[in-house]
Structure formats: C-alpha cells, structure tokens
Amino acid sequence: MRISIFRRAHFNAAHRLHNDHWSDEKNRQVFGKCNNSNFHGHNYEVEVRLTGEIDEETGYLFDLGELKEIIKVHVEDRYDHKNLNLDCPEFKDVNPSAEMICYNIFQILRAEIDQKFEIGIKLWETQRNYVQYPV
Amino acid sequence: MRISIFRRAHFNAAHRLHNDHWSDEKNRQVFGKCNNSNFHGHNYEVEVRLTGEIDEETGYLFDLGELKEIIKVHVEDRYDHKNLNLDCPEFKDVNPSAEMICYNIFQILRAEIDQKFEIGIKLWETQRNYVQYPV
Amino acid sequence: MRISIFRRAHFNAAHRLHNDHWSDEKNRQVFGKCNNSNFHGHNYEVEVRLTGEIDEETGYLFDLGELKEIIKVHVEDRYDHKNLNLDCPEFKDVNPSAEMICYNIFQILRAEIDQKFEIGIKLWETQRNYVQYPV
Amino acid sequence: MRISIFRRAHFNAAHRLHNDHWSDEKNRQVFGKCNNSNFHGHNYEVEVRLTGEIDEETGYLFDLGELKEIIKVHVEDRYDHKNLNLDCPEFKDVNPSAEMICYNIFQILRAEIDQKFEIGIKLWETQRNYVQYPV
Amino acid sequence: MRISIFRRAHFNAAHRLHNDHWSDEKNRQVFGKCNNSNFHGHNYEVEVRLTGEIDEETGYLFDLGELKEIIKVHVEDRYDHKNLNLDCPEFKDVNPSAEMICYNIFQILRAEIDQKFEIGIKLWETQRNYVQYPV
Amino acid sequence: MRISIFRRAHFNAAHRLHNDHWSDEKNRQVFGKCNNSNFHGHNYEVEVRLTGEIDEETGYLFDLGELKEIIKVHVEDRYDHKNLNLDCPEFKDVNPSAEMICYNIFQILRAEIDQKFEIGIKLWETQRNYVQYPV
C-alpha cells in the first residue's frame, strides 16, 4: 500500500542573482532588482515528500519526528539566517535561484533518506512563487 | 476533456498511537508523546479530489454541493468530535495514524462515488504534516 | 534537468450558472443559488505551472517577472472586476463554472507560452473548492 | 472576568459601486473598475467578536454553536450568492462598499445578540483589504 | 516609544467539556458533541502579545528567541500531546473551554514575564473560532 | 460614523542586527544568528490601518486604490529587494529590527496621509512573529 507523506519547514536567507560571465548591464537587464549587489532576502518555505509502503506495525510511512530532525539538521541549520551566495559553497558558481535551491535540497535529502522511498521537494520563495523538483 | 475538482472539509478528533503487540516501553520509544494513554487530538483537514470528464450541459465535473454533502455524511459526521481509537471500530486493531485515516477515508468515499471518477485524498494532521493516498 | 515553477494571481468577478436550453425550474434545481439571475461573485485565485528544462546561465526555468506580466495582461486584465457571463464572449454559450474558467485560462496561456514548456492551471473559486486542468 | 470570542463565516456576492446623484463619468472616475454596470463579486469573509463575562458554569462566554447559527441565519443566508445592489433593499440607496456592508452586519447582529455583550465586526473583501466596525 | 510584539506557537491536545454538577442529560444538551466522554481534540494555536518600551541599544522590545523559549517551556511542553482534562490539574475542576485555556495561559505567562510588559493572549481552537484575554 | 480600513502589502529585503558600540562577541551573544555579517533576509508583510469617518457620498473611508498606490510608492518601492542596512540611510545608525522598521513605516506614511485619519502599522517578519505600532 503506497502512500505519500509531506512535511514543511522554513528558513530565512539572503541572496542575489548574478552571472559572473556577464556584464553588469546584462545582469541588471536579466535579473532586475534581484541583482542588487547588496543582496535581498526571503522567508523560504520547504515541503518534503516521501513516497513508499506503509509499515503495518506502526501505520507509519516514516517517523515524522525523524523526518523533521533530518530536515532540521541538513536543511534548516545549513541555510537558516545565511547569505546563500557568500556562506554556502554550493552556490559559489551556481545562481541561488529558487529552482537551484530546490534542486540542491533534493540532492542533500536524497543522500540522507533510504532509497526505498521516493522523495520530492517544493520550495516557496514568496507566497505567490514556488518551484518543484522532480516534476 | 478530463479535469479534477477538489473539495476541503474538516473534523476535530482525539487519538493515540499504540501497538497492542508491543511492550509499553517499546510503544513509548516508537510513538513518543503520540502514545499518551489519555489521548491527544487534532483539527484534521481533508481534501477530496475527483477526476473525470466534464458534463457539457452543466460545465460541472460533479455537483460540488452533492460532494460536500457526501463528505459531510460519510466523513465529517463519522469522525468529528470523536475519539478515533474508542469510538471508531475501524481503528480498533489499526493505528489511527494520519496514513491509515487517509487510506480509510479513501475506502469510505470510493464506495460512495461513481467508479467513472478517479478519487484521491489528502489529510492534514497539522499545518506542517499531511499525507496523500493514492500517490 | 526538468523542474516546475508556479505563480499565483487573482481576480474578482461576478457570474451565474445557467443553461439556456433548460426550463427555469430545471436550472434552479440543478444550479441552486448559483442560478441567481442577478449574479453572485467570487475572489478567484489562479495558479499557473510551467514545466521544462532549467536554463543553466540563469538558473531559471522562466523569468517569473515575465510570467507575472503574461498572467496580468492575459488573465487578470481580462477577468478582474468583470461579469463573466455578460462581459466575456467566451462564456456567452458556455457556463462559467470553475471547470470551464480553468480550461479557458489554460487555452489562453497555452497560446502565449512557448510550446517547449508544459503548462497547468489550478483555479480556486473559494478556499474550499478548486479545480485543475489538465489532470 | 471579561473575555472576547471570535467566529468567522463567509458569503459570496456580486456588487458594484455607484452614486446615482453623479454623472457616469464621475462614477467611473471615482469608483474605477468597481463601477462596472454588469457587477463583479467577492468571497466575503466576516469575523464577529463578542465581549463580556465568562459564565462560570460552562466556561463559555457564549455558545459558539449558537453564535454560528445566528450568523448563518442573519448574515450568510441573507447575503450568500446574492447581488447586494439588486437583491438587498438595504443597499438600494447605500453603496455596498466593504465599509457599509460591515456597518450593516453590525446593525443586524446588534439586534440579535443580548446587549450585555459588546460586539464588533471585521469584513474581508479580499485577502489584502478589510474593514472593522466599530473601531 | 511603546510598541507591541506578537509570537505564535501551537500545541495539539484532547479535551471534553463537562460540568460535574449537572446531569448527563443537561451536559449533552449544553455541550453537545463537545461532551463526548471519550474526548475529542484540536490543534491549538496561541499568540502572545508583549507591549512596552523599545530598548534603544537593541531596537528590540524583547528578545523573540527568549520569548519563543518561555512559550515552549511553559505552554507547549505543558499542553502539547496532552489530555487537558486528565493530564492537567488546572482543568480538574475547570472546564477546558477555549476561554479558560486562554485565561490560564495568560496567568502562566504573566508569572514568567517582567511586569513592565503588558501581555495579552489569543487562542485559536479552530481556524474559525478563537478567544482573546484580556479584551 | 468612525470605521477602520486595512490594506496589506509586502516586500523582500536583507538585513542584519548589529550594534556598532558593542564588541563582536557581545553582538553575537545578543543577536545570535541575526548578527551574521553577510546578512540574511525576510519576506516582510505590512498591514496599514486608517481610522476615520466614512464619506457618505462614496461609502468609503479612503480610496483603497489610492492607499495601495501610496504604500507602493513610499514603502514597497523603497524597501523591496533592498539591503536595509546598506541601501537605506534611515537604518545606518538604527538597527533594522522588526520594531524599528515598523516604527519607520509609520513615520513615512504619517507624512503622506491626511491628519484627519489615525493610522497604525503591523509588520510581519515571519508568519509567527510580528509587531504593531502604535499599540
């Protein structure tokens, strides 16, 4: 009996969008106010999905307390109150767009959660904009 | 032209998680504070999806007033202000975890709604935790 | 690397549900208070999904500012503060049910967005009722 | 021991803003798209506050089930799925602005609820705009 | 310069409403389904307000991390995953209505927070019902 | 007839909390992770209240379209996608705590809105933390 469970967490971070191979003018043109060299920031909301078989003895797919702790240690503690561009090496050469942060969180959690579970990530940058990986 | 419609409802209930075949110690270890023998409770939010073909004469997939009434009679009236462990025979030998409540609501509504419609259930136990069946 | 992005917008409109080929009595019976000949209204919330490949130079799937503008021009400006039955020719012979409005927004945006992106629409008529096309 | 309780309800209605003593041009200038002669509409959310002394025997200020029923009969049944301008005599000569609807709901409920309770009304016209009476 | 700050927290608990001095029949009549002898439950949301003078050196009214910890220790740890009637002596002879829980949380936090700050509590029992003390 | 109207807006910004007169150690001790020298950020939500007499000709307290524009020009355009510490002179010697941002927005809007209206500001830094000025 396959089922999905979902858990939400959040972190607050600063970022800017910038491509080092482009002129300042092209960066401003493409990224607009997101290119501000002094950074801006967001309250990011992340939702983690696990899909798999229910454990008949517990009625659980996965212990939600354990999932909460995995997300806290590997996502919240890593990104909360950070500058994604300056404090996080994974975004040194990669733009910390919502798309790339979401993809990165998928990779981080994929390494922490048993392969018998499918996982999926949604990431809200504002209440009106969010991304999902995988589709 | 296939489309999906969604309707939300809610109920407030008490429950505890417990496996009768385990020692009290193992129950406390696995279920933590959810094992409290005096129960705790939640405001459950349920979302029902129906998928099928639009009726050309009405522009409806399914009458939402009728769907609201089906959910009221078969889900809300059954679970609202109840103790899931003590008042609901279906959870006598099955843990009323969010996963099992969601699966149970699917079975209840599957019997009430015409087979030409696919159905799906999401169940929120808190604003940060929810489950979905089928996946 | 395929990913999905989502953007929300909203508009406020009046509508009624009515089938011209039916008697007044049948209309009242099927559509109930939604059949009020003087109309009623809603705050519609629309969510647009785009799915495709991330652009490596920007880290974007699609420029969200551009998507916001497309939705504003082609959906919000078209439907906001309108009477869907009287002001919108597309609903002259089609009931402006949530299902048909959603399908219509899909057709409108499908014509505006590059075919290399899949698109999907969700439309909330109230906080408890919404529809999705395609499924 | 004075305390306040709050109960939320909602209704969906059409309206337009218009002053019969003004020219069409002035109406369009002042009320903009809210002046559309074919009406538009909203999901109105209403919150009712009662303030008074707790009943020691029940621990209640007021029975919330009873309050829910009063709001249903006197506010929801009166305004839900209505055209405020055409179906509601109280808005024949009064603009159904959020301010005036809120004030009107206050007057309606003031007549239904024992004077020993203070009452207050908030009315949301959209998620970003609301009004309160009295202040 | 006086200002108010607000912090939200939550806990999940079971309860029932019952007056020991009344007959079972009167209890059922007054409290309805809230009188279920097997209990039901809620996700309670609590909002704590502190009002006072801003500290010029920090720009803070009160350290929100410290406030979060006070609420966690004195409210969340005390009530989360509890049966309010059976596990909490303060509700042995007092009905755990939303009103009385709110008043009780006020008394608990009033003893923990410096008297130079005014405090106020709001408590949501469901998304549509909440209470406030003091008024 | 006095009434209050409320309008919400939002902006996304980076900030850090720091007192130049303190040692780095004291700053870290008092402000914790909010002291990160590389900044972090938030989605700020602002709610503006106006209180006064309803205009009998319009049924309005104040034109909400005009209020939206005032907030856009004087608050959103000023703070959205900015670094509050580096880009905003008003926070050069004042910590951009939620309290001080809220107070500052009050001062900005007080200068733009007719004195016959009382005004009030709420500012959310996260969904769980907000401030209000005046109290």
Query: What's the CATH code of the domain at C6?
Result: 3.30.479.10
Residue F33 covered by a domain? no
CB F44 within 8 A of CB F79: yes
CB A95 within 8 A of CB A17: yes
The pLDDT tens digits for B26-41 are: 999 999 999 999 999 9
Q: What's the pLDDT score for residue F57?
A: 95
Judged by CB atoms closer than 8 Å, whether chains meet at C99 and B60 is answered as yes
Three-state DSSP class for residue B95 = coil
Question: Is the peptide bond preceding residue D89 cis, with omega within 30 degrees of 0?
Answer: no
CB-based contacts of F135, cutoff 8 Å, min separation 6? E2, E3, E4, E51
Q: How is residue B81 written in tokens?
A: 């202000």
The alpha-helical segments, DSSP class H, found in E1-135 are 24-31, 64-71, 77-79, 84-87, 98-110
Average pLDDT, chain A: 98
Residue D27 covered by a domain? no
CB B66 within 8 A of CB B114: no
Q: What's the pLDDT score for residue B34?
A: 98
User: Low-confidence residues of chain F, pLDDT below 70?
Assistant: none
Chain D contact partners (≥3 CB pairs within 8 A)? C, E, F
Residue F21 covered by a domain? no
The pLDDT tens digits for C29-77 are: 999 999 999 999 999 999 999 999 999 999 999 999 999 999 999 999 9
Q: What's the pLDDT score for residue F29?
A: 97
Q: What's the pLDDT score for residue D5?
A: 98
The pLDDT tens digits for F53-76 are: 999 999 999 999 999 999 999 999
CA distance E79 to chain D (A): 18
In the set E34, E47, E74, E90, the catalytic residue is E34
Average pLDDT, chain C: 98
Q: What's the pLDDT score for residue E21?
A: 96
Residue C83 covered by a domain? yes
For residue C72, count other CB atoms closer than 10 A to its CB.
14
Q: Which domain holds residue F113?
A: 2-11+43-133
d(CA F12, CA F8): 14
pTM of the model: 0.97
Residue A31 covered by a domain? no
Q: What's the pLDDT score for residue B36?
A: 98
Q: Hey, which bits of chain F come out as E strands?
A: 2-15, 40-53, 82-83, 118-126, 129-133
d(CA A8, CA F9): 24
Query: If you average pLDDT over residues A6-35, what whole number do you get?
Result: 98
F125 is catalytic: yes
Q: What's the pLDDT score for residue A50?
A: 98
Three-state DSSP class for residue B23 = coil
Judged by CB atoms closer than 8 Å, whether chains meet at E129 and D59 is answered as no
d(CA A105, CA A100): 9
The pLDDT tens digits for C93-105 are: 999 999 999 999 9
D2-15 and D82-83 as β-strands: parallel, antiparallel, unpaired?
parallel
Three-state DSSP class for residue B119 = strand
Q: What's the pLDDT score for residue C126?
A: 97
Q: Which residue has the tokens 């989360």?
A: E80
Query: If you average pLDDT over residues A65-77, what whole number do you get?
Result: 98
Query: If you average pLDDT over residues A79-85, what whole number do you get?
Result: 98
CA distance B25 to chain C (A): 42
Q: What's the pLDDT score for residue D20?
A: 95
Query: Per 3-state DSSP, what percentage of chain E is helix, strand, and coil (rounded to 5)?
Result: 35, 35, 30
Q: Nearest-CA neighbor of B70 among B48, B102, B43?
A: B48
Instruction: Name the interface residues of A facing F (CB cutoff 8 Å).
Output: 10, 12-15, 33-34, 36, 38-43, 80-83, 86-87, 126-127
Q: What is the dihedral of CA A77, A83, A85, A90, to 10 degrees?
A: -10
Query: If you average pLDDT over residues A38-55, what whole number do you get?
Result: 98
Structurally, how many domains does chain E consist of? 1
Residue D32 covered by a domain? no
d(CA F24, CA F6): 41
C125 is catalytic: yes
d(CA E80, CA E99): 18
The pLDDT tens digits for E77-121 are: 999 999 999 999 999 999 999 999 999 999 999 999 999 999 999
Residue A107 covered by a domain? yes
Q: Hey, which bits of chain E come out as E strands?
A: 2-15, 40-53, 82-83, 118-126, 129-133
Query: If you average pLDDT over residues B66-94, what whole number do you get?
Result: 98
Residue E74 covered by a domain? yes
